[in-house]
A and B are shown apart, each in its own frame.
Chain A
Amino acid sequence: MNAVIKADRLTKQFGDFVAVDHISFEINPGEIFGFLGANGAGKTTAMRMLCGLSRPSSGRAEVAGFDAARYPEEIKKHIGYMSQRFSLYGDLTVAENIRFFGGVYGLGRRQIKEKSNELIARLQLQKEAGQLVRSLPLGWKQRLAFSIAILHDPKIVFLDEPTGGVDPLSRKQFWDLIYETADKGITIFVTTHYLDEAEYCDRLSIMVDGRIDVLGSPGELKAKFKVETMEDVFYLFARRAKNTE
């Protein structure tokens, strides 16, 4: 199996401050990869490099087969991105948001129409298709934002704290959608503050002070550090940090 994300001693420096410090890992197609770390550990900076939004200071990253330093625009075409902060336009309807993002991702008119019908049917939004996104409950908005982020069948979708503040039932339904997507072969790269969600990942890493010291499946990590839950593993490492708040 060929890795869809390869990071090799990937580093980002701002002046004297090393935000991301020689991180290396490989992620496989269809894998759900959890990217954990305390606030300020360097997760966002690392993710920006992998999405082609920030140039590495040194080291390499290959995403969807493209080098992050040389072909950032190619990477952007082959990935999806969703965060809690930026997702959809509240003053456009459900259908308009789908059409708009379809256009941004470069899909043709017929393709957008097909994908749009498919998406609306799958999320059972037939009645709400003409409603402003602003008026939808948060849980629906998140599922819609996720579905739109994979509208163009990307190889990888980056999810930056996708479930913050969502009610628990919607959070479970959101993970159902993640599982479904991973089963189709799309790689999921996800950050979260909910440590029970860490248990749902195939593998995960914990970032501390810009470095990745811990990487493995939840089962491996719990066995290795002889603790019961991922929360215990996280607590063990994140509290050693110097840079965090």
Chain B
Amino acid sequence: MIELNHISKAYKEGAVKALADITLCVNEGELFGLIGPDGSGKTSLFQLITTLRLADIGSASVNGLDVVKDYAAIRAIIGYMPGKFSLYQDLTVKENLTFFCSIFRTTIQASQGLINDIYVQLKPFEHRLAGQLSGGMKQKLALCCALIHKPKVLFLDEPTTGVDAVSRREFWEMLKRLNASGITIMVSTAYMDEAIQCKRIGLIQSGKLLSTDTPEGIINSFPDPLFAIRSEDIRKLLKDLRAYGKTKSCYASGEYLHATFLNDNPSEEVFALLQKLGHHSIEIKKSTPTVEDSFIQLMKS
């Protein structure tokens, strides 16, 4: 459904490299996540595929349509929700919806089935100016407007940034329902924990794709045994483990520290060492890596 072939893009006459040789394929009906920190090139990539910006090198297509030659045809079949709120703040909720309907020559009724879920929640605020909505409601309105013409593909650039954990969970439920109704979705996020919600993900850093796979595939290719370790004094534990000569990496991860070691079976030796250093309630166990662990590992290699 979406294809990118060796795409590169630089700004300021080549001084800022935004994207470096990106090749990527998203299948029809997929929920694909582009996972990476701010400044990694996520927005540039979205702008290229949604025909808002031209690549320096490489080609891209959506549903077989070329992003340069067939840009008008692409715009008719995609919905795009940019990272920055880009609706008309001085129009009401209803006016914004009507405006997007008229641009795409459709009506709210015609797309009812698709947006109904979200529209019901917006209905009580119909006559409020978009600029005066809360963050969560703005986001729902933007999603409604992006869906109004029943697009085949939906692009969402960091829809959950700055949103609290509860609202984030609800937003992902909404995306999954849309995806189940047949829409191909490409979504970006800087939150690593959201990766598991996607069928496949691409990890992006400094304009380069580090890896593209299912979340499970990425986790399974983590090269070392990973250990979760804790004791009563986690801050001292972090220092002590980093000072230990056979530690490869060690950092905090939730209530445990995640560590990898140079030797294969370090548990007993590490346990003895920590006991000697005065730690209490020591717990060492083998752990399954998270997407975050994989990202950190790929960044270093």
Q: Which residues of A contact B (CB under 8 A)?
A: 37-40, 137-139, 161, 164-170, 172, 175-176, 179, 182-183, 193-196, 199-200, 218-219, 229-231, 234-235, 238-239, 244-245
Contact = CB atoms under 8 A, between A and B. Distances in A.
Contacts of B253: 196
B255 interface: yes
B36 A245 contact: no
A172 B296 contact: yes
How many interface residues does chain B have, given as a range?
Answer: 35 or more
A164 B190 CA distance: 8
B292 A168 contact: yes
A245 B134 contact: yes
The 9 closest A-B pairs by CB, nearest first: A245-B136, A167-B37, A165-B38, A172-B251, A245-B134, A38-B164, A199-B255, A196-B254, A165-B190
Given A165-B161, A169-B296, A199-B255, A39 B37 contact: no
A210 B253 CA distance: 30
- Chain A CB within 10 A, most for which of B162, B191, B234, B300: B162
Nearest to A183: B235
B137 interface: yes
Interface of B: 36-40, 134-137, 161-169, 190-193, 205, 234-235, 238, 251-255, 292, 295-296, 299-300
A234 B166 contact: yes
Nearest to B162: A164
B84 to A, nearest CB: 13
Given A168-B192, A199-B255, 9 more contacts: A39-B163, A40-B134, A165-B161, A167-B36, A168-B299, A196-B253, A238-B165, A239-B166, A245-B136
Nearest to A173: B251
Nearest to B15: A135
Contact of A193 (B165, B292, B296, B299): B165
Contacts of B137: 245
B38 A138 contact: yes
Given A38-B166, A234-B166, A169 B252 contact: no
A229 B165 CA distance: 13
B164 A166 contact: no
A98 B278 CA distance: 40
Contacts of B300: 169
A44 to B, nearest CB: 12
A31 B19 CA distance: 42
B164 A167 contact: no
B252 A165 contact: no
B235 A138 contact: no
A165 B253 CA distance: 17
Contacts of B168: 193
Contacts of B192: 168
Nearest to B238: A179
A175 B235 CA distance: 11
Contact of B164 (A39, A137, A219): A39
Contact of B37 (A165, A195, A196): A165
